[in-house]
Every structure is written in C-alpha cells, then in structure tokens.
Amino acid sequence: MSNTIRMQSALAAILLLSGAVGLAQSGEATYKAKCQSCHGAQGVPNPGIAKAMGVKPAGDPAVKAESAAQMIAITTNGKAKMPAFKSKLSDAEIKASVDYFRSLAK
C-alpha cells in the first residue's frame, strides 16, 4: 500500500511541475508573439522604438516599481501608445506574459 501512495505522490509532483513549466513556456511564447516587437527579446527595446513609443526596458526602475497587477491592467487595457490586449489574449495569457516580462528584469 505504501508503495502505491509513494508512486501516486511522485506522479502528482511530476504533473504539477510539468504544468508550471508549461505555463512558463506559454508566457514566453505569448511574449514573443505579441510583446517582443516593441519590448525587445530580452526586455530591452530597440532605441528607435523606445524613443518613438516611450517604451522602457524591463530593468528600468520605473518599470520594476510597477506591481504585477498594474502591469496586467496596462496590458489588458492599454496605456499611452500601447494597445489593449483584452480582446486579443485571455487573462491567463496576459498574466503569463507579464510574469515572463518581469522575469527579464532579474
């Protein structure tokens, strides 16, 4: 009986970890598809885009000071020249892409 419980626990752990990895990959994929053209592959925008659109790098202190909830709201509703993505991405995709963007600042 205890071997069965151990095997089920191990299987549950593997499934949880694979789900977390899948979510991270989906955030990266969404970022690359929808955000990278303005925000840059590594969270650092092209200087021309940065100047024309007012895009700051992920590591900029003003960007790092924004909470995840603020970034999710900006991505959802748009801000200044950034379009709203509420009709283009699901809430989960927006959160995952914001999480990925925030990871680029580390």
Q: How confident is the model over 23-39, as pLDDT tens digits?
A: 445 899 999 999 999 99
Phi, psi for residue 85 in degrees, rounded to 5: -110, 10
Structure tokens at 54: 């007012």
Going by pLDDT thresholds of 50, 70 and 90, the confidence category of residue 98 is very high
Can you state the angle between helices 68-77 and 91-103, rounded to 10 degrees?
A: 130
Residue 15 in domain = no
Residue 70 lies in domain = 26-103
Residue 22 clears pLDDT 60, i.e. is over it:
no
Phi, psi for residue 82 in degrees, rounded to 5: -85, 125
Residue 3 in domain = no
Residue 50 in domain = yes
Q: Give the 3-state secondary structure of residue 89.
A: coil
Residue 5 in domain = no
Tell me what pLDDT residue 4 has: 72
Residue 95 in domain = yes
Residue 39 in domain = yes
Number of structural domains the chain divides into: 1
Tell me the average pLDDT across 29-51: 95
pTM, entire model: 0.75
> What would the DSSP string read from start to end of 2-62?
HHHHHHHHHHHHHHHHHHHHHHHHHHHHHHHHHTHHHH-TTS---HHHHHHH-PPPTTSHH
Residue 87 in domain = yes
CATH number for 72 = 1.10.760.10
Tell me what pLDDT residue 14 has: 65
